[in-house]
């Protein structure tokens, strides 16, 4: 069955193996790189990406063009470009699929973005569970190097860049930009509060641009087809490009789908993910990974774009849609997610390190029949105070709780009044 929408990032997707360098070239790969080395200045590249309104695909949706432009003209050298492949947001697996689909698309994206800031060294920071992905990068980078796309004087130009693959020791917080930089420098992966921003003083005090795998993968296409084309890919006015949605949970065909930004949630679930599994009704979903608030059924038709979700009190995040049905206890789900965040806190600031375990304790009590009415205002107040933590980890960690409290308070109360979880038979 032919895909309903144009496949850009997944153009060479095939079961069981990656696209080779040859296949990537045949689909137009490395044309963008050749073009920019011939006739684009670094500024041209920055402007094209900014014009395309490419927003960071790692979850924070920071404008990629703005990030590139924030490296000052007179900033010192060497400069670094870092590809964040530490995909640890629960429910998210798009980067893994991308790496296993078309690694050269990512490599080309890194080179072009590197050129835009005149970076000399590229680093792919990859989570340890993605060892097969790291090996793909190791191998394909060598192939790209032999083909003249990496190393000294790329394609005969004056621009030189090489990429190394750095395997993370594996913590969720390593996905946070400043924590990742600390990890790369061999320090504890504690976040660092800007300023200075990494593009000003990043790795070893030098300008460093860090972006997500999917963000880099978009870049060659923007250069090749232009920013207007890219914006036109989206279904919404404000959106731009396609987005890889990772659908999981109570649907018939979970998986990774490349769809235009702004595709409706209902369409994603019903058409692309095959609908809810038999006997299940849609109760809620996490629209963008574990650190986004639940979306209740009233948003079932929402257009999946950054702005629309923000207006609905949630976030597009990484685009990882976890679908829950009417038989699933959302208190238990929130408790489960909170357990994850309790474990993954870096331990730097008090609200995150101590506040999250407190929240977990209260949720555990509610779920296990020890809940009290007074826990609800406590939970609400604490989750608000967790926004005053050091970095964005804690606000993300309490997002499911926020959704639970605003849309499913009744379910919480039912746990408390029944003195047990109503979804459990005993």
Q: Give me the residues that bind another protein (CB under 8 A), please.
A: 171, 173, 188, 193, 342-351, 353-358, 361, 365, 370, 378, 381-382, 385, 388-390
Say if residues 252 and 67 touch (Cβ distance below 8 Å): no
The number of beta carbons lying within 10 Å of the beta carbon of residue 365 is: 16
Minimum CB–partner distance for residue 183 and another protein (Å): 12
CB of 229 to another protein, least distance (A): 40
Nearer to another protein, 316 or 363 (CB): 363
Residue with smaller CB distance to another protein, 136 or 346: 346
The smaller minimum CB distance to another protein, of residues 86 and 214, is found at 86
Is-contact 128 85, C-beta < 8 A? no
CA atoms within 13 A on the CB side of 284: 23
| Least distance to another protein, CB of residue 388, Å | 6
Q: How far apart are the first and last CA of the chain?
A: 46
If you count them, how many residues does the chain have? Answer: 426
CB atoms within 10 A of CB 76: 10
Q: Give the span between the Cα atoms of 114 and 189, in whole angstroms.
A: 24
CA 2/CA 35 separation, integer angstroms: 31
Is residue 91 helix, strand or coil?
coil
Measured distance CA(206)–CA(188) in Å, rounded? 19
Question: What's the CA gap between 49 and 255, in Å, rounded?
Answer: 29
Which one, 215 or 345, has the nearer CB to another protein? Answer: 345
Least separation in angstroms between CB 343 and another protein: 6
- Shortest distance, CB of residue 140 to another protein, whole angstroms? 33
Least distance in angstroms from the C-beta of 98 to another protein: 29
Instruction: Give the nearer residue to another protein in terms of CB position, either 71 or 362.
Output: 362
Residue number with CB closer to another protein (228 or 373)? 373
């Amino acid at each position: 069955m032919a895909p309903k929408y144009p496949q850009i990032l997944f153009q060479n997707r095939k079961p069981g193996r990656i696209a080779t360098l040859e296949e990537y070239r045949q689909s137009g790969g490395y044309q963008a790189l050749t073009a920019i080395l011939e006739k684009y200045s670094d500024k041209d590249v920055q402007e094209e990406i900014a014009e395309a309104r490419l927003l960071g695909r790692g979850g924070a949706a920071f404008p990629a063009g703005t990030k590139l432009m924030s490296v000052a003209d007179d900033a010192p050298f060497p400069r670094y470009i870092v590809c964040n492949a530490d995909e640890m947001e629960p429910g998210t697996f798009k980067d893994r699929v991308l790496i296993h689909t078309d690694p050269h698309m990512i490599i080309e994206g890194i080179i072009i973005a590197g050129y835009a800031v005149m970076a000399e060294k590229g680093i792919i920071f990859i989570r340890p569970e993605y060892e097969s992905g790291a090996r793909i990068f190791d191998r394909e980078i060598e192939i790209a190097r032999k083909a003249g796309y990496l190393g000294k004087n790329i394609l005969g130009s004056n621009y030189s860049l090489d990429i190394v693959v750095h395997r993370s020791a594996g913590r969720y917080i390593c996905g946070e930009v400043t924590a990742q930089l600390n990890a790369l420098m061999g320090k504890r992966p504690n976040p660092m509060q800007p300023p200075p921003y990494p593009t000003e003083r990043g790795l070893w005090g030098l300008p460093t641009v860090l972006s997500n795998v999917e963000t880099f993968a978009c870049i060659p296409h923007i250069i090749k087809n232009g920013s207007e084309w890219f914006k036109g890919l989206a279904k919404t006015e404000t959106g731009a490009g396609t987005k890889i949605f990772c659908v999981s949970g109570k649907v018939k065909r979970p998986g990774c789908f490349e769809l235009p930004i702004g595709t409706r949630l209902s369409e994603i679930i019903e058409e692309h993910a095959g609908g809810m599994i038999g006997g299940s009704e849609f109760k809620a979903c996490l629209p963008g990974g574990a650190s986004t608030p639940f979306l209740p059924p009233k948003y079932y038709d929402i257009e999946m774009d950054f702005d629309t979700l923000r207006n609905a009190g949630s976030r597009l995040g990484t685009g990882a849609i976890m679908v829950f049905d009417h038989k699933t206890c959302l208190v238990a789900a929130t408790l489960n997610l909170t357990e994850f965040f309790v474990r993954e806190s870096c331990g730097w600031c008090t609200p995150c390190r101590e506040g999250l375990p407190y929240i977990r304790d209260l949720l555990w009590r509610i779920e296990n029949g020890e809940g009290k009415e007074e826990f609800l205002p406590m939970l609400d107040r604490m989750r608000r105070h967790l926004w005053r933590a050091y970095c964005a980890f804690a606000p993300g960690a309490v997002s499911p709780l926020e959704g639970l409290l605003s849309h499913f308070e009744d379910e919480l109360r039912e746990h408390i009044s029944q003195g047990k979880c109503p979804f459990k038979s005993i």
